[in-house]
Amino acid sequence: MDGRVALTPFVLPGEVARVEPEQERPDLIRTRLIEVISPSPHRYAPPCPLFYECGGCHYQHARYEFQVEQKAAILREQLRRVGRIDFTGEIETISGPPLGYRNRSQFHIERRRIGYFANGSHRLTPVDRCPISSPKINETLAILARMMRDRRFPGFIRAVELFTDEASVLLNVLDTGMPVARRFFDWCAEEIPGLVRGALNYRAAGHVFQVSHNSFFQVNRFLLDALVQAATGDAAGSSALDLYAGVGLFSLALARRFDEVTAVESAMSAVHDLKTNAERAALDIRVAHAGVEPFLAGMERSAEFVLADPPRAGLGKRVTAELVRLRPRRIHIASCDPSTLARDLAALVAGGYRITKLILLDLFPQTYHFESIAYLAAEERR
């Protein structure tokens, strides 16, 4: 090449490969892999025959242990490059089975075929089985594929989401632009074993969580208990805030350790589920239906402990500024994006916090996504 960075999918560090340009810019070239000339010892035969075509996974060509090692290196590099944080301590890693882990999957539908979009496009790749999805999802996927050959299947349905606890399955029809007739769901109930409507009751971390079809819930069925333990750690005391609380996955655990717990959530569906879950567990949790930023802005005094599980966009400048102003003694952040986590940690460190622990949970094996949890403690003021 000519000194520019070449971005090539499906090539591992240290490999020698033959590639061809697909897209060129002044600073980089996007290329397509033609041949691996000198393979890495970490290269692995993908368990899915559609891996190089389907856009759902990114790392199936690498041995799983190597995937986790690379994700820890990416986290450390993002902290250094984005946050200017040179974290030299150990990054604890937690992983589970690398296949069959997803309890929630979305599929696209086109011309009575169901599958995922191909890598980097909106072209449908038909799928009859997804190795990273759970057995119940794959069972339901096969049933839906069969139902689509029937003229009763609505032609305007373009995407569906399946969510399961392996006993029951919740079917959510996405982005139709028009209502789906009740008789379609009645037909689905006849064909799909364990189909439920509206909400699914999911058992995790010692509680049963009602999760409605519009509510967020973590997708790795093997690591839910480990996630709750890692996010909450040994935190206990008089008062706790759970920010971006969702249906209460962390709130219920905190309510068993703190005298007062306030859960803050902006989505109405999740708020309804959270209240139901707290009541069923007989736990006293104050549920605030509010955005995190205005809620914090209205506080004069913080809880002693704050747990935040923001979306991919992270906390952002205003929320981190409010946390610095309120100065809780301890903050735990669960993040699904290392770059926004690095940005948020930089703001908190500049505001008087130090990072005491970093944990990487590989909630999304075979993909470049992962969950990071950062523990922070307020420095003593001089």
pLDDT of residue 175: 74
Helix (H) or strand (E) holding 228: helix 224-232
pTM: 0.93
Write out the DSSP string of 20-35.
EEEEE-SSEEEEEEEE
Condensed to tens digits (0 to 9), the pLDDT of residues 52-75 reads: 999 899 999 999 999 999 999 999
Domains of the chain in sequence order? 5-43 (no CATH), 69-97+203-378 (3.40.50.150), 104-198 (2.40.50.1070)
Would you give the distance in Å from CA 142 to the centre of its chain?
25
Condensed to tens digits (0 to 9), the pLDDT of residues 352-367 reads: 999 999 999 999 999 9
Condensed to tens digits (0 to 9), the pLDDT of residues 134-150 reads: 999 999 999 999 999 99
On whether the CB atoms of residues 340 and 369 are closer than 8 A, the answer is no
Contacts of 28 (CB under 8 A, 6+ apart): 4, 5, 6, 7
Condensed to tens digits (0 to 9), the pLDDT of residues 285-317 reads: 999 999 999 999 999 999 999 999 999 999 999
Residue 3 has pLDDT above 90, yes or no: no
The Cα 111–Cα 121 span in angstroms is 17
Ramachandran angles phi, psi of 23, nearest 5°: -145, 130
Q: What angle do CA 335, 341, 342 make, to 5 degrees?
A: 155
The residue type found at 45 is A
pLDDT of residue 121: 84
Rg of the Cα trace of the chain? 23
* Helices and strands, counts by H and E, the chain: 9, 19
The Cα 270–Cα 210 span in angstroms is 9
Please give the residue that has the higher pLDDT: either 15 or 176: 15
On whether the CB atoms of residues 96 and 364 are closer than 8 A, the answer is no
What average pLDDT does the segment 87-107 reach? 97
Ramachandran angles phi, psi of 8, nearest 5°: -130, 120
Residue 382 has pLDDT above 70, yes or no: no
